[in-house]
Amino acid sequence: MKTGIELISAERTRQISQEGWSPEHDDGHKRMEISQAAGAYTKAARLLVLDESSVNEIVNTRPIDWPWGLQSWKPSQDPIRNLVKAGALIAAEIDRLQIALIAKQKLDAEAAKLKCGNWTKCPNAKCLRETIVDEKWACEVCKESWTVDYDEIR
């Protein structure tokens, strides 16, 4: 019998390889939807254990806190399976947050170059302060913007 962590790891691998929920896909869920989905699966598992009579309602009804459409709500009648899905979603959310943190640290390091006069990203070389807006750098002085290459960052 596999351990919980083995089941969760296998599910996360399945999510990536079969569902296409790669880190790049997950990066689009910046409002913690992935962990919210994990919570919905955890709640389904709890309800199945505590009230077996609610199986049909759990399986056939999209929870209020489910962040996406009904077609993506795929609970199991097996509480362990739901917990495995929840665990894999939590792992995905952790990975997403860690990648975002690394990207932010690298961008902050780039921005720190501004203080010593080495900042070269602004097309007009006028940047005194910059910010990220919709995944683009934008100079707060000249208002020019440019795309951030996240593949370079990772």
Q: Are strands 130-133 and 145-147 parallel, antiparallel or unpaired?
A: unpaired
Q: Is residue 68 assigned to a domain?
A: yes
Res 127: pLDDT: 47
CB 146, CB 123: distance < 8 Å: yes
What is the distance in angstroms between the CA of the first residue and the CA of the last residue of the chain? 36
Q: Is residue 132 assigned to a domain?
A: no
pTM of full prediction above 0.85? no
Between helices 4-19 and 79-112, what is the axis angle to 10°?
Answer: 70
Q: Which domain range does residue 40 map to? A: 4-100
Res 143: pLDDT: 54
pLDDT band at 79 (very low <50, low <70, confident <90, very high): very high
- Mean pLDDT across the stretch 49-60? 82
* Burial of 114 per CB tally in 10 Å (0-12, 13-18, 19+): middle
CA pair distance 85, 42, nearest whole angstrom: 9
Pairwise pLDDT comparison (130 vs 45), residue with the higher score: 45
Q: Please tell me the total count of domains within the chain.
A: 1
Res 116: pLDDT: 43
* Burial of 84 per CB tally in 10 Å (0-12, 13-18, 19+): buried
User: In the chain, what percentage of residues exceed pLDDT 90?
Assistant: 51
Q: Is residue 114 assigned to a domain?
A: no
Q: Is residue 26 assigned to a domain?
A: yes
pLDDT band at 128 (very low <50, low <70, confident <90, very high): very low
